[in-house]
Amino acid sequence: MKICEVESVCKIYGRGAAEVRALDDVSLVFEPGEFTVISGPSGSGKTTLLNMVGCLDTPTSGRVVLEGKDVSTLGERALAHVRAKRIGFIFQSFNLVPVLSALENVETALHLARFSGNRRKTAAEMLDAVGLRDQMRRRPTQLSGGQQQRIAVARALVKHPGLVIADEPTANLDSKTGTQILDVMRQMNESFGVTFLFSTHDPRVMERARRIVSLHDGRIAEDRTREKPSAAGEVALTSDASNESNA
């Protein structure tokens, strides 16, 4: 089964003269375990596409089928349910709840997913897996940007979703930290088989992707799958110095 099928999706914002066609007849299929980048210039519709796939928004026309289920016609509560159970989000500016500790932030995802096991223990294990064993009790404001994004990764993955949506996850991080975060995500992708869908302008993210979908003005300009992506640990094709830390 495909993890997600986008069928002739259009998304139109505004009306009349102010009408913006953010997505224009986009069709895509994502397989389980993909590590795919959506690229394109600013305003090309990357966020809009991710929101459709992530069930944050519904298309004006066309269908989005998630794990075999048409989600484009679902109501607010049903969509919330799908997001809670099956989709993890990682945002550009981390978006952690500032009054909660790292551990509680991750637990919140389990709470909303109605996870029935030991939430505290499960959350702690996931924080351990992203390398935050010693910072679990701290609040986000007491942590660096990279550490905060690790919490966000743990929060997105702790409920074992089918799909993780990451909208420019490295844009607010320096290149070294961004690389580390990418490695963490790549590891998760490999060890849990979770599908990752990114939007990014960051060449390092693109290097790690097997598939790159380029958008332009709401249309697919290119959909390219490489034979051998430069995974973590491999020497990058570009001359970005920060990649050396992965060697």
Ligand X SMILES: Nc1ncnc2c1ncn2[C@@H]1O[C@H](COP(=O)(O)OP(=O)(O)OP(=O)(O)O)[C@@H](O)[C@H]1O
List residues near ligand X by CB under 6 A.
Answer: 13-14, 20, 22, 40, 42-48
Cβ neighbours of 82 (radius 10 Å): 19
Short-list 50, 48, 53, CA closest to 20: 48
**Between the CA of residue 118 and those of 89, 96, 99, 214, what are the distances in Å?**
22, 22, 22, 41
Total Cβ atoms within 10 A of residue 233: 9
73, 37 contact by CB (below 8 A): no
Which of other proteins, Mg ion, ligand X, none does residue 6 bind to, with CB < 5 to 8 Å depending on kind?
Answer: none
Stretch that binds other proteins, among 104-112, 200-208, 219-227, 236-244 (CB under 8 A): 104-112
Pairwise CA distance, residues 58 & 71, whole Å: 8
Report the partner that residue 22 touches, choosing among Mg ion, other proteins, ligand X, none (CB closer than 5 to 8 A by kind).
Answer: ligand X
Q: How far apart are CA 28 and CA 11, in angstroms?
A: 15
Q: Least distance to other proteins from the beta carbon of 225, Å?
A: 28
**Interface mask toward other proteins for 81-100; x: CB under 8 A:** x-xxx---x-x-x-xxxxxx
Examine residue 76 and tell whether it contacts other proteins (CB under 8 A): yes
Whether 168 and 201 have beta carbons less than 8 Å apart is answered as: yes
The number of angstroms, rounded, from the C-alpha of 148 to the middle of its chain's C-alpha atoms is 15
Among 108, 172, 175, 187, binds other proteins (CB under 8 A): 108
Q: State in angstroms the smallest separation of the CB of 155 from other proteins.
A: 8
Shortest Cβ distance from residue 34 to ligand X (Å)? Answer: 19
Binding of other proteins by 16 (CB under 8 A): no
Please tell me the distance from the alpha carbon of residue 58 to that of residue 246, in angstroms, as a whole number.
39
Which of 36, 39, 47, 72 touches Mg ion by CB under 5 A? 47
Sites of contact with other proteins (CB under 8 A): 47, 51, 54, 56-57, 76-77, 80-81, 83-85, 89, 91, 93, 95-100, 104, 107-109, 111-113, 155
Sites of contact with Mg ion (CB under 5 A): 47
